């Protein structure tokens, strides 16, 4: 297969301003990821060879495919899979469904997956994929057909030891089960280890569903110990009440922290004395969204970031803390549960105000770490119990945080640059000793 099978980002027309030659991955998010890589590379004095080898995705696949709707009409969809580096082993990363999914977005997220896996010491390169669609407008049957066709389209580039997808925004256990079944039908036998984040009945691991949110809490605990903040006394505001945000909220309130605000697409709710997160979760389970929750004050979905508190956890989507609102955050710590929630401009303002940022590649690495545990268990045909999963996750994340703080001291930089530096050094060293084929 050639280095890039991309058909270019012409499919993104209407979203990207300028998609000239060599700009295939152009998107705001990709520029953020590339800018971070450039800055960490400069800090490390990274040799130009490794800037060339790691600065762009190694392989991209863009597919257009038809799906028959329940009405009988045919919907044309575009799907992506981007593999950032093939140096570290198979690639790993989720696939998402959303109206803004693009090649550039997948490329940025794939690069972050590489750094996340390297920081955590997992034997993977980064990947990411997705289908541009609006899942809320599709029936269950239509979503199944989208997922099965997308899985079939990816056959040339995926495999249990080549590229292992997982859930991301808009996808979950259900989609992973369809994906696993489709792949297994095509190769003629059950291959549990082709995806992670599966139902336990199909070789999923206990603890995967909660892993990212739980990991956010384990990292936050370690950070609080370091900066002398008592997490059990802390007030926390969380943007996003999905797989990551709702679990983080539940775990935080279980250990005694006061979750004062949460939000979803329908809006935000706030109670300065602390929300009853179990009651909020029950409300969402029945009504689907936070809107009209009766026991709190209401505010806009982004305003939750500006509520006075100790810790803000963006756990919704990218580019939420920007030059337009960073000066209004009233906290001492931002823990990036979402991928890329802070723009470079927003981060400059946070830094100037002394607000610490725990970078996404560390804060939300619990998901891929437990995905790795799932993959290992699938290969071993042996299941670990939940306590085992949780303890290993906590140990692995705390060790990664120590690597980050050690690098921050050594390189005299913030935690994001430290985390990226540790990761880039690892991948560059592997690339160095592997050399270049031929
Ligand atoms: P999800 O789809 O389960 O939940 C997303 C939540 O954010 C929902 O509550 C949604 O209503 C809310 N939301 C969306 N737009 C919003 C807005 N503008 N304002 C406020 N809330 C908004 O997704 P998730 O799996 O929880 O993922 C959240 C973030 O965490 C994403 O950035 C994802 O890439 C990242 N992440 C997820 C995992 C994982 O294992 N699920 C792992 C690593 C990183």
Mean pLDDT for the chain? Answer: 94
Q: Which residues are catalytic?
A: 128
Ligand 1 atom closest to the Cα of residue 244 is 26
Residue 373's pLDDT is: 98
**Ligand 1 pocket, residue 422 CB under 6 Å:** no
- Mean pLDDT of the 121-138 span: 98
Which of 322, 339, 354 lies at the terminal end of a domain, its last residue? 354
Residue 340's pLDDT is: 93
- Strand 311-314 versus strand 333-335 pairing type: parallel
- Mean pLDDT of the 164-187 span: 96
Asked if residue 140 has pLDDT above 60, the reply is yes
Which of 244, 312, 359 has the most ligand 1 atoms within 8 A of CB, as the residue to mutate? 244
Range of the domain at 227: 211-354
159 and 26 both lie in a single domain: yes
Q: How far does the centroid of ligand 1 lie from the alpha carbon of residue 337, in Å?
A: 9
Note the pLDDT tens digit of each residue in 69-90: 999 999 999 999 999 999 999 9
**Ligand 1 pocket, residue 169 CB under 6 Å:** yes
27 and 168 both lie in a single domain: yes
Categorize the per-residue pLDDT at 5 as very low, low, confident or very high, splitting at 50, 70 and 90: very low
- Mean pLDDT of the 165-184 span: 96
Is residue 367 in some structural domain?
Answer: no
Is residue 180 in some structural domain?
Answer: yes
167 and 34 both lie in a single domain: yes
**What is the CATH number for 80?**
3.40.50.10860
| Residue whose structure tokens are 């084929």 | 437
Is residue 363 in some structural domain?
Answer: no
Residue 325's pLDDT is: 98
Asked if residue 15 has pLDDT above 90, the reply is no
**What is the CATH number for 318?**
3.40.50.720
Note the pLDDT tens digit of each residue in 247-299: 999 999 999 999 999 999 999 999 999 999 999 999 999 999 999 999 999 99
Note the pLDDT tens digit of each residue in 373-397: 999 999 999 999 999 999 999 999 9
Nearest of 125, 56, 127, 133 to residue 102 by alpha carbon:
133
216 and 175 both lie in a single domain: no
**Ligand 1 pocket, residue 316 CB under 6 Å:** yes
Is residue 359 in some structural domain?
Answer: no
Residue 24's pLDDT is: 82
Q: How far does the centroid of ligand 1 lie from the alpha carbon of residue 170, in Å?
A: 8
242 and 129 both lie in a single domain: no
How far, CA to CA in Å, does 433 sit from each of 114, 119, 196, 429, 430?
18, 19, 30, 6, 5
- Point out the least confidently predicted range of 11-20, 40-49, 71-80, 137-146: 11-20
Is residue 205 in some structural domain?
Answer: no
101 and 51 both lie in a single domain: yes
Asked if residue 401 has pLDDT above 60, the reply is yes
174 and 286 both lie in a single domain: no
> Taking the mean position of all CA atoms in its chain, how far away is CA 289?
22
95 and 217 both lie in a single domain: no
Q: Whose CA is nearest to atom 41 of ligand 1?
A: 168
Is residue 223 in some structural domain?
Answer: yes
Is residue 392 in some structural domain?
Answer: no
179 and 228 both lie in a single domain: no
Q: Whose CA is nearest to atom 29 of ligand 1?
A: 338
Is residue 159 in some structural domain?
Answer: yes
Report yes or no: 241 and 262 within 8 Å, Cβ to Cβ. yes
Residue 16's pLDDT is: 45
In the chain, how many domains are there?
2
Nearest of 24, 20, 32, 18 to residue 3 by alpha carbon:
24
The 258-264 sheet, strands edge to edge? 297-299, 267-270, 258-264, 235-239, 311-314, 333-335, 356-358
Residue 18's pLDDT is: 56
Q: Whose CA is nearest to atom 43 of ligand 1?
A: 364
143 and 270 both lie in a single domain: no
Distance CA 434, CA 148 (A): 36
81 and 169 both lie in a single domain: yes
Asked if residue 14 has pLDDT above 50, the reply is no
Helix, coil or strand: residue 64: strand
DSSP letter assigned to residue 342: B
139 and 252 both lie in a single domain: no
Note every long-range contact of 230-233, with CB atoms under 8 Å and residues 24 or more positions apart, other chains counting: 231/255, 231/256, 231/257, 232/256, 232/257, 233/257, 233/258
Helical ranges in 288-436 per DSSP H? 344-352, 360-363, 366-380, 386-411, 415-434
Q: What is the 3-state secondary structure (H, E, C) of 351-387?
A: HHCCCEEECHHHHCCHHHHHHHHHHHHHHHCCCCCHH
**Ligand 1 pocket, residue 243 CB under 6 Å:** yes
């Amino acid at each position: 297969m050639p280095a890039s099978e991309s058909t270019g980002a012409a499919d993104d027309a209407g979203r990207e301003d300028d998609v000239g030659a060599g700009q295939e991955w152009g998107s705001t998010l990709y520029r953020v990821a590339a800018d971070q890589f450039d800055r960490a590379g400069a800090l490390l004095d990274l040799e130009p060879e490794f800037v060339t080898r790691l600065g762009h995705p190694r392989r991209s696949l863009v597919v257009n495919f038809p799906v028959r709707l329940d009405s009988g009409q045919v919907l044309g969809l575009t799907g992506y899979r981007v593999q950032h580096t093939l140096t570290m082993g198979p690639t790993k990363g989720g696939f998402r469904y959303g109206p803004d999914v693009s090649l550039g977005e997948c490329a940025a997220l794939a690069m972050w997956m590489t750094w996340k896996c390297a920081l955590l010491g997992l034997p993977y390169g980064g990947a990411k994929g997705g289908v541009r669609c609006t899942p809320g407008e599709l029936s269950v049957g239509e979503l199944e057909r989208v997922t099965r066709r997308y899985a079939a389209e990816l056959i040339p580039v995926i495999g249990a030891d080549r590229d292992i997808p997982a859930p991301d925004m808009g996808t979950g256990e259900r989609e992973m089960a369809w994906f696993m079944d489709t792949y297994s039908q095509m190769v003629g036998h059950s291959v549990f280890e082709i995806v992670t984040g599966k139902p336990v009945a199909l070789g999923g691991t206990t603890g995967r569903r909660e892993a990212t949110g739980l990991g956010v809490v384990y990292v936050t605990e370690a950070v609080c110990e370091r900066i002398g903040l008592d997490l059990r006394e802390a007030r926390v505001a969380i943007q996003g009440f999905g797989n990551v945000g709702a679990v983080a909220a539940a775990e935080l309130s279980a250990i005694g922290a006061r979750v004062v605000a949460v939000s979803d697409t329908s809006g935000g709710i706030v109670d300065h004395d602390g929300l009853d997160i179990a009651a909020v979760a029950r409300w969402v389970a029945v009504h689907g969204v936070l809107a009209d929750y009766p026991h709190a004050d209401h505010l806009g979905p982004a305003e939750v970031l500006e509520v006075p508190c100790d810790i803000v956890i963006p756990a919704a989507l990218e580019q939420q803390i920007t030059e337009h609102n960073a000066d209004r955050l009233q906290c001492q710590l931002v823990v990036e549960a979402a991928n890329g929630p802070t723009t470079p401009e927003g981060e400059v303002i946070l830094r100037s105000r002394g607000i610490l940022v725990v970078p996404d590649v560390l804060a939300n690495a619990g998901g891929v770490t437990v995905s790795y545990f799932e993959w290992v268990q699938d290969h071993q045909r042996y299941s670990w119990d939940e306590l085992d999963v949780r303890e290993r996750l906590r140990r692995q994340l705390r060790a990664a945080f120590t690597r980050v703080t050690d690098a921050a001291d050594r390189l005299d930089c913030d935690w994001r640059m430290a985390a990226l530096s540790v990761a880039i050094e690892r991948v560059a060293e592997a690339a160095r000793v592997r050399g270049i084929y031929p």
